[in-house]
């Protein structure tokens, strides 16, 4: 019972003055009990620990092979001297021997997985005329005539507690009275944010569009025909044999999935460039009904997009900002409660919207627990892993297991900027300091929840404040419908100074 109570939180709700009944004319209050994030760090599922070590061993075989090959060659060649070669071998034999050694080295390098580099990335900042304050949001929503008084009050309260400030961006078309959202509206928004991000990226990297071999675009709700990836290809006149993919319906975690797909494709096309574009169309997440579960998306989602340029060319290591170190994806779709926690549906009046279950925080907690348990063996220092396993094997039954300190594995953490309450819960359970949470909170306040691109606005914040030093490890965590939790870890290849283009830097007029 005590364990279950730890996951519950209470909220006193003011129901207003009762109109009838024995308590007419009096204020009425009720207590709402809801599930919070589970104390997942105090329970360990060894299945996910074993999975993490399986990933580690499968990628370590190349590192164990290299010293062995070097040792054999050193042992053999160490016994030979120039006198052994000179009388017996002519120049042709020497050339042949060098060729054989070169071929062996080439085959070894070709068989080992190539590193994936993040050359650079860019986040789009919409024009100032699309800025919207919380007060203006409610005023426009009321004037649209699409919401009842209860729905307006609900959105007002949600905005107040959201952690979003007064400078996030919204397309004004959603507040247009008397007319629904059209496919044209969605395409125009997508084109604005996607092309804006890609333009900034191309300007920063000076890359030629004909050199881009792979394109991956992700957007959860808007999936037109031709696809968003086709829009990018048409606008930038990309090569005719480009490998393009369009990911839809995968929620806020799709940005990490797009990186994973691009990484695999770069392994298939070594030495190539991959362009990844992550966005969400606010116009298509907008709900015009009065169902509270479907109104939450209105309050949190804002305009935004990010574009990333990846490379598998070894020479690009010297010009790239980051190297991809680990990527772990966790899917809880086999569980019905997780599967239904966030889904697109229609209300009783047939109005479409994104429904968010009251169980979503608890579901996210279980997905995160599985994800970080798998990630732990890949990133934690050996001392922490030894301490953890020693405590796990020899602890007393009444003693809680030792919880590894994930702060030892990362210098920076970028948690998906969903809402203030979710960030508070994650900070408490992951035992993160305010410094680790700063990028997520500032992004939520300034730009709101931009879905899959949110974690890139957070990394841009760290760069704009000159926080990234050579060797720093950055942990990006994203959640999404399904339910999914995905992690990606980057290592800074150099100290990153304040960039010329950034959504956090106001251009001089």
All domains of the chain, ordered by start, with CATH? Answer: 118-378+405-492 (3.40.47.10)
pLDDT of residue 406: 82
**Which one is catalytic: 219, 252, 414, 485?**
252
pLDDT of residue 31: 39
The per-residue pLDDT for 118 is: 97
User: Which parts of the chain have pLDDT scores under 50?
Assistant: 1-14, 22-23, 26-34, 40-41, 61-63, 75, 85, 398, 508-509
Tell me if 407 sits within 8 A of 436, measured CB to CB: yes
Residue 211: the pLDDT is: 95
Active site residue 252: yes
Q: Rg of the chain over CA atoms, in angstroms? A: 26
pLDDT at 382 (0 to 100): 81
Q: What Å distances lie between residue 40 and 227, 315, 365, 424, CA to CA?
A: 39, 42, 7, 15
CB atoms within 10 A of CB 456: 26
Set 290, 412, 414, 429: catalytic member: 412
Q: Which of 366, 449, 485, 486 is catalytic?
A: 449
Active site residue 59: no
**Would residue 310 be called left, alpha or beta, if left means φ above 0 and alpha means ψ between -120 and 50 degrees?**
beta
424 has catalytic annotation: no
Supply the pLDDT for residue 12.
42
Residue with tokens 């590192």: 63
Among the options 331, 366, 429, 485, which is catalytic? 331
């Amino acid at each position: 019972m005590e364990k279950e109570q730890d996951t519950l939180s209470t909220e006193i709700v003011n129901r207003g003055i009762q109109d009838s009944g024995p308590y007419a004319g009096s204020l009425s209050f009720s207590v709402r009990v809801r599930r919070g994030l589970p104390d997942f760090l105090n329970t360990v599922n060894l299945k996910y620990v074993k999975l993490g070590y399986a990933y580690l061993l499968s990628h370590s075989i190349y590192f164990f092979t290299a010293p062995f090959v070097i040792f054999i060659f050193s042992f053999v060649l160490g016994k030979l001297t120039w006198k052994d070669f000179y009388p017996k071998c002519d120049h042709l034999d020497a050339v042949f021997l060098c060729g054989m050694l070169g071929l062996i080295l080439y085959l070894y390098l070709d068989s080992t997985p190539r590193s994936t580099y993040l050359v650079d990335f860019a986040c789009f900042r919409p024009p100032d005329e699309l800025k919207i304050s919380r007060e203006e949001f409610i005023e426009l929503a009321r004037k649209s005539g699409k919401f009842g008084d209860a729905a307006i009050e609900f959105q007002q309260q949600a905005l107040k507690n959201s952690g979003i400030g007064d400078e996030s961006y919204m397309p004004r078309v959603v507040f247009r009275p008397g007319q629904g959202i059209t496919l044209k509206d969605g395409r125009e928004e997508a084109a604005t944010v996607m092309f804006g991000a890609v333009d900034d990226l191309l300007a920063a990297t000076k890359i030629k569009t004909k050199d881009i071999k792979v394109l991956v675009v992700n957007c959860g709700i808007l999936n037109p025909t031709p696809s968003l990836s086709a829009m990018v290809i048409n606008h930038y006149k990309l090569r005719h044999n480009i490998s393009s993919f369009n990911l839809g319906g995968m929620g806020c975690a799709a940005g990490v999935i797009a990186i994973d797909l691009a990484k695999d494709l770069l392994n298939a096309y070594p030495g190539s460039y991959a362009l990844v574009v992550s966005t969400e169309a606010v116009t298509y997440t907008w709900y015009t009904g009065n169902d509270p579960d479907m109104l939450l998306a209105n309050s949190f989602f804002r305009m935004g997009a990010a574009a990333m340029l990846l490379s598998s060319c070894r020479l690009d290591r010297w010009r790239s900002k980051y190297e991809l170190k680990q990527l772990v994806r966790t899917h809880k779709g086999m569980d019905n409660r997780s599967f239904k926690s966030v889904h697109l549906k229609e209300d009783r009046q047939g109005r479409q919207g994104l429904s968010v279950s009251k169980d979503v925080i608890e579901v996210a907690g279980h997905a995160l627990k599985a994800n970080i348990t798998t990630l732990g063996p890949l990133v934690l220092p050996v001392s922490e892993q030894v301490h953890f396993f020693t405590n796990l094997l020899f602890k007393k039954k009444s003693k809680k297991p030792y919880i590894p300190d994930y702060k030892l594995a990362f210098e920076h953490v970028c948690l998906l900027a969903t809402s203030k309450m979710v960030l508070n819960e994650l900070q408490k359970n992951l035992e993160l300091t305010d410094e680790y949470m700063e990028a997520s909170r500032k992004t939520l306040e300034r730009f709101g929840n931009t879905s899959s691109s949110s974690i890139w606005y957070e990394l841009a914040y760290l760069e704009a404040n000159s926080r990234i030093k050579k060797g720093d490890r950055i942990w990006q965590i994203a959640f999404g419908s399904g339910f999914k939790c995905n992690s990606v870890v980057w290592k800074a290849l150099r100290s990153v100074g304040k960039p010329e283009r950034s959504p956090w830097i106001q251009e001089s007029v």
